[in-house]
Chains A and B, each alone.
Chain A
Amino acid sequence: KNQVEQSPQSLIILEGKNCTLQCNYTVSPFSNLRWYKQDTGRGPVSLTIMTFSENTKSNGRYTATLDADTKQSSLHITASQLSDSASYICVVNQAGANNLFFGTGTRLTVIP
């Protein structure tokens, strides 16, 4: 069964600290994986996209990793800011189809 699981479900960290969010998937065949950020009351917005051949990709303070062998991805946030408070959703695209499989997200709260 094609699934995407994220952990932790929620996370609270102090401003300035780093954190890492996890995503495990069983989607096959694999095409690509995106991390989306969803602010409260808004639609999700793409942060990064990872393809099969990519191990790591950065977007400012966000760094995503992908291990296609173990089917795991992580999103590392460096020097967190209050504006990082949001839900982070891992989305896996199945190859050859328009099927997107969504994780239920990690709710990150950054406190001063």
Chain B
Amino acid sequence: DAGVIQSPRHEVTEMGQEVTLRCKPISGHDYLFWYRQTMMRGLELLIYFNNNVPIDDSGMPEDRFSAKMPNASFSTLKIQPSEPRDSAVYFCASRYQGAHMTEAFFGQGTRLTVV
């Protein structure tokens, strides 16, 4: 398996534009997580899905952020409209059902810059 695949790797957009980040989890994994990483705050959980269903979105900063998982192999994180303070690296991670000891595997991240 190629691991968790995220696209694009880098995104530069103007304030006010819509941004869509994409994630393909590892096949067979049924938990998918979206994280945001900044220098100041480190890694923060935004939302996670179990079997394509959003379970906890309490980390989503505000209504400008939305996430979907239409099937087991694809998820999107959308920001509309984007703002400069959204600039960060966004990570997607997945793991499989079972013991909580199972490792979450991370993608390489999408570096978002909003100017």
Contact = CB atoms under 8 A, between A and B. Distances in A.
Interface stretch (A57-65, A74-82, A101-109): A101-109
Of the candidates A41, A89, A98, the one having the most CB atoms from chain B within 10 angstroms of its own CB is A98
B109 A32 contact: no
A43 B107 contact: yes
Contacts of A103: 42
B56 A98 contact: yes
Interface string A84-104: 000001000101001110111
Contacts of B41: 104
A82 B97 CA distance: 36
Nearest to A87: B42
B2 interface: no
Which applies to chain B's interface (DSSP): helix, strand, loop or mixed?
Answer: strand
A98 B106 contact: no
B91 interface: yes
A46 interface: yes
A34 B100 contact: no
Contacts of A31: 100-101
Contacts of B19: none
B28 to A, nearest CB: 17
B108 interface: yes
A44 B108 contact: no
Given A95-B100, A98-B48, 20 more contacts: A31-B100, A32-B100, A32-B101, A34-B103, A42-B108, A42-B109, A43-B4, A43-B91, A43-B107, A43-B108, A44-B91, A46-B104, A49-B103, A93-B101, A98-B50, A99-B45, A100-B104, A102-B42, A102-B43, A102-B44
